[in-house]
Amino acid sequence: MEPIVKNINEEFRELCTRLDMPHGRLIKEFQEINERLLDRRCIAAGKVLPIFVKPYFITKKQVDRFKSAVETVLTCQEKAINLYFEEPRFRHLFELTENEEPLVSIPHGLSRHIHFSRLDGIMTPTSFKFLEFNCDSPGGAYYADIQTELLLDFSVIRELSKKFTFLIKPYRPIVLETLLKAWQETGHQKKPNIAVIGNPEVANVEEFKLFAEYFSEQGYTSFFTDPWSLTYDGNTLKSHGRRIDLIYRRGVLADYSRNPEQSKAAVQAYHDGNVCFVNPLSSKLGDNKNLLSVLTDESTSFLFTMKELKVLRQHLPWTRMLRECKTEYEGSEIDLIPYVLKNKDNLVVKPNSEYGGKGVIIGQDATQAEWEESIAEHTQQAKVVQEYVPIPIEEFPLLSEELQFAPKKINVNFFTFSGQYGGGFCRVSDSSVINISAGGALVVLFVVDV
């Protein structure tokens, strides 16, 4: 931990103790924050999105390191995705379903496949590791803005701000800027009607609606809708009579691949070039968890420079599709399934194309029977096995009946916009499967200006 960060963490804790006077003052303030979060619709599944009032402090020096690694990985992702289209013999590496293949192959006229992404990782004592990529429909930017704005008014943060300068940059304008940049790249000059499109049944649907409202506030005709109730006349895509030019896609590819008839209008308009999808559907090629294997497979190493290969080796944990095969691990050839069965404490098994922590089994936390059952399921569901990366622990204040600090497991999630590092947030949990839908909470990033 950077010395300045350690210093700020200590001061944060001291301030909590000092400002919690009279006893329970911070608890009341935390309750007020949650009420304001509810008022601003920072909710998931109808409940206030859990938050810790202590930000994750990082320095500009750390940001520079994050930026370099994140942008190198993004470049490598784009190279790997282009390989899918340029060399059909490599397509099997991407593990797409039969219904997904024609969707990702629709030309989109954009210079890159990934405009929005979130790279989720773990800080290590000397560096950090990316555990998975969210490039299909990453979320959390609007919620992070709301939480940051409310925390800046938290008494402990106000006191810290008298001594330290925090560099705060909202994400909402960057999201809009990224959308418009893609829109203009496809040759359009007129002001677009922007539809935020996603599944209305998902837990974080309120964020989709908030973005549509924000775009409207910025002077764009914008609304939220689902991908299954649209109409298309061969020229114009519409939702209940409202024209759609530009889609901020907040639904995963499965919304289209699993519902081909219902999503036919949107897909046909996209195919005809009469609507701009951002992310384009091809971004799914950068999303499956096995992409970490593609990026480190010897057969694809020719794609990358020596510098890129070094970054990939440093920041990606060993990952393989879980199946009967021979492969390499730490320089030695192994039979994968027998090796995985015998070495559960060093490994993690994940569904290849799920999200929200669904189906993730961490070997250290599983019984042998649970581990063997998860591995046996690979014949029915595509899974990856990944090297276990130890999860760091940091203390956070609990504000319920009384002020107390408790150790929590934490990961870090980096946003990217148009191929560039764009900040991020952290997730915190008691569980090793750190996910909001699995009972975790959000922690915002504060960059210290030193």
Bridge-partner residues for 333, per DSSP?
Answer: 328
pLDDT above 90 covers a percentage of the chain that reads: 84
Query: Over 70: is that where the pLDDT of 438 sits?
Result: no
- Report the sign of the C-alpha dihedral through residues 114, 204, 354, 257, in that order: negative
Q: What is the pLDDT of residues 88-98, one digit of tens each?
A: 999 999 999 99
DSSP string, 250-297: -S-THHHHS-TTTTHHHHHHHHTTSSEEES-GGGGGGTSTTHHHHHH-
What's the CA gap between 123 and 279, in Å, rounded?
A: 27
Q: What is the pLDDT of residues 276-288, one digit of tens each?
A: 999 999 999 999 8
Mean pLDDT of all residues in 222-227? 98
Check residue 148 and give its pLDDT.
97
Fold of 318-387: Dna Ligase; domain 1 (3.30.1490)
What's the CA gap between 447 and 44, in Å, rounded?
A: 26
pLDDT band at residue 73 using 50, 70 and 90 as cut-offs: very high
Check residue 439 and give its pLDDT.
62
What's the CA gap between 350 and 363, in Å, rounded?
A: 11
Rounded to 5°, the CA angle 45-259-201 comes to 10
Q: What is the CA radius of gyration of the chain?
A: 22
pLDDT band at residue 428 using 50, 70 and 90 as cut-offs: very high
Check residue 41 and give its pLDDT.
97
Query: Over 70: is that where the pLDDT of 404 sits?
Result: yes
Tokens of 280: 């384009």
> Can you give the residue ranges of every domain in the chain?
3-288+392-448, 318-387
Pairing of strands 393-399, 403-417: antiparallel
Query: Over 80: is that where the pLDDT of 5 sits?
Result: yes
Average pLDDT, the chain: 93
Pairing of strands 383-387, 319-321: antiparallel
Check residue 209 and give its pLDDT.
98
DSSP letter (8 states) at residue 298: G
Query: Over 80: is that where the pLDDT of 437 sits?
Result: no
pLDDT above 70 covers a percentage of the chain that reads: 99
